[in-house]
Structure 1
């Protein structure tokens, strides 16, 4: 009898061990807690984690020589210090590449121009082959990236309409600048067929203007732009304004634009204010991250702007965080903005 009792006890212990090994016990979920199968209706399968929050956030920025990378490093530091999760800035090819990194879950937060974000959401422009990419949502707008139409100081070009028939660079092929140029010309009833089209980087455009081989160039960048500043010193420049009614028409059709005034004397040969439009640099974040995490990240960034360690941070304002944002805002960011009356 004693042997039978001992055998029965061993059998029961072995059965319990097998049940536990097959998922009958508890397992850690993505939040570090426990998931009990009985609490989920007695299912024999372990439930999916409550969310997909990673233990470390990757912030996709841009090239190391630009603004996105150092500013992203400052943001990563503040997220690490204040949001309860480690964050690291990563150098990338900027906006279009960053969208694909988010899609492929190779990054979690990214810098991007707001017009590029809209193209990705709709699968247009440089994303036609990719199709619609909806793996991300807005975290908030940052600062203006201004469309500047540059000509030499002695040019007889005074309006966008005067570009007809002229030698005009619209930026590198497939760039955001190229699309900006197309849309602004459109407001004046012009297309690329109406100009002597060139697709040059702005460094090459500036050199061509200086050498008299180019009449005008579009450039989308924060002001002052170093290459324009240098050209103003060596050659002298004018920045061509966009007419008020055309600005209204552009914004009505493409809501990711915002009206912008380039201050007088931004460039030494441009003593007057110049009216134009800008797109916004913005932060986007993976859609599948939890509301709680994104709320904490948003709070960490916008409550520590003065700690970001870059001059451009002075242009980031909480009250402007939704300006020019035409894509869905992540619920976690929206919760933070609602609490602070940002619309």
Structure 2
């Protein structure tokens, strides 16, 4: 493939108008200028249907979820029907199940996870399930109440894992794709370390391991997945920060390399990306390097499908940066290639 197509989700309060499209040269890493793909308010998180013909976005300030058809040019997006209520306030993350019949949404401010049925044309119906998390944890400012921050489907499409930053828990639900209904699994949640603030969870390509980044704790936790019971067992935990770092930090995104041997996490304090090697046999993590991300506030990043490029979005410096990935070591090499988008907070590769 000579060109990768990707979409950027920004906040729209500081000049951006909606979802933007970029093209990345697969040989050089050069980025095109950003093009407005669809006008919408605060599309702070994006995801694609399995067939990659439909893109879903939250509208964080409006408490809505929206569906868009991806154009034949792989740049422009067309809204599918009206937006739907996301089931809570400040939706911040979403995922589509592997049958394409259910959209899962995490609502940060109200600690709500919702599931929305998807019509055959990709448009959304009102929520089938709305589940409220309740409680608090030890961080007085950030954990006074529930804050659902991420929804992740198991590789077998049977379970939904919801990271709740406010409660230090990963909730586990069973999913019925046909009805888009959620029901608590047994056990109903997995605790994380007190004050850690679980933010994002992602599975490895092997389907047997998952990785969690904690926003408040600045840690990366490796898990073994038991598909029979829908449970996660921690196998290792490492700090995403340098041993001598003493400043403030909130960790943000976590991604697994397509080869499954490397895991990446971003830090919004030192503004860097932590690179880890993961050994499947021992199920242990090893820090490879910490690389400056090239901007301020690396809230999100994504790896190209071929694993050769990493693209990072910086919320506080309005810049998209590109790194070449060494597929044998996982190490990142910065490139001079950049693109400007106001307040970018999500990166999504189409191809």
| TM-score between the two structures when normalised by the length of structure 2 | 0.27
Q: Looking at CA atoms only, which structure, 1 or 2, has the larger radius of gyration?
A: 1
Q: Larger % of strand: which?
A: 2
TM-score normalized by structure 1?
0.28
The structure carrying a bigger helix percent of its residues is: 1
